[in-house]
Amino acid sequence: MQKNDLKTGMKLEWEDGSVGVVLRGTEYGDIISGNERFPFVSMRKDLSLVYTGTKIRRVYAPRNIMAYLQGMNGCSLDECRIIYDREEMEKEEVEYTKEEISSIAKTISMWEWLAENHNKNKCDWFKMTGENIAYDCYLCQHYHSNYNCGKCPLALSGNACINTNKAGFIEGSIFHEWLRNEKNPLKRKVAARKIADICKETLSNISKKTK
């Protein structure tokens, strides 16, 4: 789970036992209120605090509308269900299918090509390969189409490109950097190379686990 997956009404339990509630779109911006109060900008994408490194242990969601409404007045975890448990997630090994591995490998080839051809776009790659791929992205065709963006190598590395709370790309993400620097060859090449490298690291880790 990433910071952008958090929605209003969700409860956060920190490593030190304190609890907060997510409030998005307030007149003060997106904030966490409760035992701990701070703006979203104080929290990294991986759900840890910028200044202290303290991590969220669990994320809870209200079980029903009444629990949601009651939760706005306090931070009790009663009537909530756990939707993210850091310890359990860290115990689990991400498993990949052959189709996923193939998508990651093709993604590496595409972004390495884009890094060397900064004046080209993803559609140019698919014109060259003759493939009809959803969203012009091998990863999105597999993960976004199946509502499983959280398993995408970019998301797992803290570089998700899609904002799950509202339509559009995440500003500051690697993909957004590549997209907006069409007239800056160096920045565009660096961003494309980073995307390829993240996918390479994922494939490398998969290979180590299967040996």
Overall pTM > 0.75: no
Inter-residue contact 100 to 141 (CB < 8 Å): no
The sign of the CA dihedral 98, 145, 135, 201 is negative
What pLDDT is attached to residue 191? 94
Can you give the three-state secondary structure of 174-202, one letter per residue?
HHHHHHHCCCCHHHHHHHHHHHHHHHHHH
Q: Given the structure tokens 């629990």, which residue do they identify?
A: 67
Asked if 69 and 21 count as a contact pair (C-beta separation under 8 A), the reply is no
Domain ranges of the chain: 3-91, 98-210
Q: Compute CA distances 125 → 32, 166, 180, whole Å.
A: 42, 28, 18
pLDDT band at 80 (very low <50, low <70, confident <90, very high): confident
Question: What average pLDDT is seen over the chain?
Answer: 82
